[in-house]
Chains A and B, each alone.
Chain A
Amino acid sequence: MAHWFSGEYRSSNPDVCMDPNSETSEAKKQAKRIPGEAEFWLFIMGDLLVFTVLFLFYVFQRKNNLAQFQVDQALLSQNIGLLNTLILLTSSLLVAIGVQRLRLQRQNVSRFLIGGIFFGIFFVVVKALEYREKLVSGIDLSGEYSFFMLYFAMTGIHLAHVILGILVLLIALNLSRKEQPIRYLKFVECSAIFWHMVDLLWLVIFALLYVIR
């Protein structure tokens, strides 16, 4: 990862460092390119597979204990789930625009990244309040693989990803404010890809835990 920081980014990337209005650049923009680093995608895919196993485990545990899961699931607020979904989608949009602005060397990259980070922190606050409310209300955590055990496991692992994502975006923000921030494009792209993965995992968690009862 070190070379992303060291300014080694030499563009084989057709989108970068060209007049965006010229025909050549327009044609090259159509060329296929890997966003971020190829190796980083391996990590993303590994993470996606881990979550797939978690999702399937949840569905099969629900099958084994449907009645109790339905009682417990009814205690979750769908409105809070929706709020967190809207927060993460908005955060993802801002980060995606930030990355695009950096690549095309436009203004206000950091403003969009700050917006994305702000919504990420907002997500953590809402989740913390939800956890607090659940723990105070004395929900049932007993039993092997009860709904709330799986709820805390899945949302907890996801929350750890959110916090890691915020930290990585803070580094990306710092790099985007340096001179010639385009040198750090690969790192910023990778941090954005990680952030969008956090977003898409939440979309599935929202459907499984909050919507399908």
Chain B
Amino acid sequence: MYKEEKYLAIIWLVLIGVSLLSWKAGASSVSAAPLWLVVPILLLTFTKVRFVVLDFMEVRHAPIQLRLILEAWLALTCLALVLGYSLDLCLPTTGNAFD
């Protein structure tokens, strides 16, 4: 195995490890996922996405403009989802949910 391939394999191992971690966190929650669990899961997910973009898509060595656009997409999407879930969890779970 060549040096660059070892690096990719390490990234892959990290991605697998983080996936197992979020799966475990999700599997262990019995009721509605609380915000303190949702936010780390989203952050871990977008950390994985960032590795895929930078190392598998090779954006790490791309011109800075391309990298910035993709990093901005990553950060904004993650932020928007965190906000979406935060609003979610501020709402009462009973009431007119089925109306």
A60 contact set on B, CB distance < 8 A? 84
List of B residues within 8 angstroms of A212 by Cβ:
26, 33, 37-38, 41-42, 85
Q: Which of A68-89 contact B (CB under 8 A)?
A: 68, 70, 78, 81-82, 85-86, 89
Interface residues on A, range: 35 or more
Q: Is the Cβ of A200 less than 8 Å from the Cβ of B22?
A: no
Chain A 58-70, CB within 8 Å of chain B: the 1/0 string? 0110111111101
Interface set of A (CB-CB < 8 Å, partner B)? 30, 32-35, 41, 45, 48-49, 52, 55-56, 59-60, 62-68, 70, 78, 81-82, 85-86, 89-90, 92-93, 95-97, 100, 104, 106, 192-193, 196-197, 199-200, 203-204, 206-208, 210-213
Seen from chain B, the residues whose Cβ lies within 8 Å of a Cβ on chain A are: 2, 4-5, 8-9, 11-12, 15-16, 19-20, 22-23, 25-27, 29, 31-33, 37-38, 41-42, 45-46, 48-49, 52-53, 55-59, 61-64, 66, 69-70, 73, 77, 80-81, 84-85, 87-88, 91, 93-94, 97-98
Q: Which 3 A-B pairs have the closest CB atoms?
A: A211-B26, A59-B84, A207-B45
